[in-house]
Amino acid sequence: MSTLAAPVETALGPILELRGIHAGYHGIEVVSGVDLSVLPGEIYALVGPNGAGKSTTVAVAACLHAPTAGDVLLGGRVVNGARPQDLCHLGVCLVPEGRSVFPNLSVHENLWLATHAGVALDEIESRAYGRFPVLGTRRAQLAGTLSGGEQQMLALARAVAVNPAVLLVDELSMGLAPVIIAELYGFIREIASAGVTVVLVEQFARTVLGLADRAAVMSNGKIVGAGRPDEVEGVLEAAYLGAL
């Protein structure tokens, strides 16, 4: 049984907050005192070089990785220690790094697995194929044989099928052609304008900063700059050159 009973209150203040988060693996700290505050309805970018701790940070935010210190707050409530599935029911959904589809299941079956949140398969499929018609033409194809871009479309279609309040997306653009990235980001804009809060984690900052309302730059486990995209431009180069 979940210890989290009430739905997320989003009317006031940040919808998602990390306060003083420390996290690591096998006793080695890789996230060192991260504070993040994401407002309802915004697109928030978390950028930084390889190994900065971005994926670990969003895994903590989704309660997939336990912090060693600090708090995760959702709608102002501390949710530390919640099970990821409980957080998902409260409206936080993570699309992890890599192609987060079931490769040995068809497109249709992947969407069917997203019905656990209570939305009917017909509706999920009509939304997915309406937005990404190529998925409709590949309904019976194994997801593992889709192109990289098609797999990300399917991953996003699965994620929005649970009607999230906060969608965390880790490296959406990884390895994809600019035209596909533009299409996926177009979809991100649409879901954000429909009221979903989106946190985009990207290693390649330039692509995502044009889309974000606010951004944070991470380097060596710490936030080294945060603000509007134009305000963080200044620290980007130093972060990527390893000077921060």
Ligand X SMILES: Nc1ncnc2c1ncn2[C@@H]1O[C@H](COP(=O)(O)OP(=O)(O)OP(=O)(O)O)[C@@H](O)[C@H]1O
Q: Which of 225, 240, 167, 242 is nearest to 201 (CA)?
A: 167
d(CA 233, CA 23) in angstroms, rounded, equals 26
Cα 202 vs. chain centroid, distance in angstroms?
A: 10
Binding residue for ligand X, selected from 1, 11, 50, 242, defined by CB under 6 A:
50
Check binding of 219 to ligand X (CB under 6 A): no
Stretch in the footprint of ligand X (CB under 6 A) among 51-59, 73-81, 102-110, 236-244:
51-59
Site for ligand X in 58-97 (CB under 6 A): 97
SS3 140: coil
Check binding of 23 to ligand X (CB under 6 A): no
Check binding of 53 to ligand X (CB under 6 A): yes
Q: 195: how many CB neighbours lie within 10 A of its CB?
A: 10
Binding residue for ligand X, selected from 151, 203, 207, 219, defined by CB under 6 A:
203
CB 94 within 8 A of CB 62: yes
Check binding of 100 to Mg ion (CB under 5 A): no
Check binding of 98 to ligand X (CB under 6 A): no
- Least Å distance between CB 26 and ligand X? 6
Residue 119 binding target from ligand X, Mg ion, none, CB below 5 to 8 Å by type? none
d(CA 3, CA 83) in angstroms, rounded, equals 9
Burial readout 110-131 (b: 16 or more C-beta within 10 A, e: otherwise): bbbebbeeeeeeeebbeebbeb
Check binding of 168 to ligand X (CB under 6 A): no
Binding residue for ligand X, selected from 18, 21, 36, 52, defined by CB under 6 A:
52
Binding residue for Mg ion, selected from 10, 55, 173, 197, defined by CB under 5 A:
55
